[in-house]
Amino acid sequence: MPHDFMPGLAGVPAATSSISDVDGQRGVLEYRGIRVEELCAKSSYLETAYLLLFGHLPTPSELQRWTNDVTHHRRIKFRIIDLMKCLPEQGHPMDALQAAVAALGMFYPGRNVKDIENNYWSAVRLVAKLPTIVAAWARLRHGDAPISPRDDLGFSENFFYMLTESVAHPLWSEIFDDCLILHAEHTMNASTFTGLVTASTLADPYTVVASSIGALKGPLHGGANEEVVVMLKDIGTAGKARSYVEGSLSNKKKLMGFGHRVYKVKDPRATVLQGLCQSLFKECGSSPLYEVALEVERAAGELLKGKGIYPNVDFYSGIIYDKMGIEIDLFTPLFAMSRVSGWLAHWLEQLRENKLFRPDQIYSGEHNRPYVPIDRR
């Protein structure tokens, strides 16, 4: 019997989960019951990743083991680097990341997903190696040699080091770590759902994460963070923001970094990211993009009043990365190297009671058509 068709599965639950929760009316996001604002103030990305993956805040010894394990698995095989060297340098970094992550699975015995120990090490490797792949690609495409990770540096510090060969200002690492926390998980979004569909076939976790990376790339999902900065640069000055917003809306063009399927108020992550922008600017001077963004938000607030369309996580993040000198097309890979912990948390959760995803469709075609021979068509 046909059921009600919900385009985009809007409002249709696809799983029972205790990993995160969004209250779209009040603008609240919790990971395992803890608000993201509190995690940004008190936790680190690696500790938050542990919370998401294993369901509780780690004890000191658990955190130490997790940190050591991740730290010692950051290196990538030279063949992964060789593979990336063969990719066209003008290609999008998300495609390079997806290819490298899919290839990772060929090096590690992750096939038996019923083996809990194996799954732990797969999660360690994926959380550890994604930043190394992103940084390696960022350098290789400019003809620079990749930089090996440094075990004495924390997760975010090390990422900057692999990208630039220098240790960033501690405030930058702190702010960047908060950005990673804010992007780590977000209930049943498109990339998580994609990963879970793949996972439901009992595919290995490298394949699961590679498929999630593909879904994250699109401009309606993670790719919006790049589009926002392109839009802000296009607008150029705060004075031109209002006419840009009016023009976009009258041409039915969506404003990038605005709107959300679940939030009907401002995304709480956008609010935290705005605060992070201000902390960064206090130390390093402001960004003209921020002034433009404020004006876009103000104009959109007036023109879209009552429609429940406000800035989402992608609206302010790119301004921070841009100020840190990170190239625009790396923004979505940064999202992926954080969100991998959420994807893996859902993968582990689903494996406990896995059921193959096999939804239905409502057939709208014809029946009983005759086959017409090619000379009579």
Residues in contact with ligand CMC by the rule CB under 6 A: 8, 189, 220-222, 224, 254-261, 307, 309, 312-314
Is 152 a catalytic site residue?
A: no
Place of tokens 């090096």: 107
DSSP state of 239: G
Is 314 a catalytic site residue?
A: yes
Cβ contacts of 296-301, under 8 Å, gap ≥ 24: 296/231, 296/232, 296/235, 296/241, 296/244, 296/245, 296/255, 298/241, 298/242, 299/241, 299/242, 299/245, 299/246, 300/245, 300/255, 300/258
Are the C-beta atoms of 267 and 297 separated by less than 8 Å? Answer: no
In the set 267, 314, 322, 346, the catalytic residue is 314
| Residue closer to ligand CMC, measured from CB, 113 or 255 | 255
Total count of residues recorded for the chain: 377
Residue with the shortest CB distance to ligand CMC: 259
| Residue closer to ligand CMC, measured from CB, 36 or 70 | 36
Distance of CA 54 to the CA centre of its chain: 19
Give min distance, CB of 67 to ligand CMC, in A: 28
| Residue closer to ligand CMC, measured from CB, 157 or 322 | 322
Q: What SS3 state is found at 359?
A: coil
Q: Which helix (H) or strand (E) holds 28?
A: strand 28-31
Secondary-structure percent of the chain, ordered helix, strand, coil, rounded to 5: 60, 5, 40
| Residue closer to ligand CMC, measured from CB, 172 or 258 | 258
In the set 260, 267, 322, 346, the catalytic residue is 260
Place of tokens 């057939």: 363
Give min distance, CB of 9 to ligand CMC, in A: 11
Q: Which residues fall within 8 angstroms of residue 242, CB to CB, at 6 or more apart?
A: 295, 298, 299
Q: What are the φ/ψ torsions at residue 266 (nearest 5 degrees)?
A: -65, 135
Are the C-beta atoms of 75 and 184 separated by less than 8 Å? Answer: no
| Residue closer to ligand CMC, measured from CB, 147 or 249 | 249
Both tokens assigned to 372: 């017409």
Give min distance, CB of 169 to ligand CMC, in A: 28
DSSP state of 7: G
Q: How far apart are CA 75 and CA 56, in angstroms?
A: 27
Give min distance, CB of 284 to ligand CMC, in A: 26
b/e sequence 86-100, b meaning 16+ C-beta within 10 Å: ebeeeebbbebbbbb
Active site residues: 260, 314
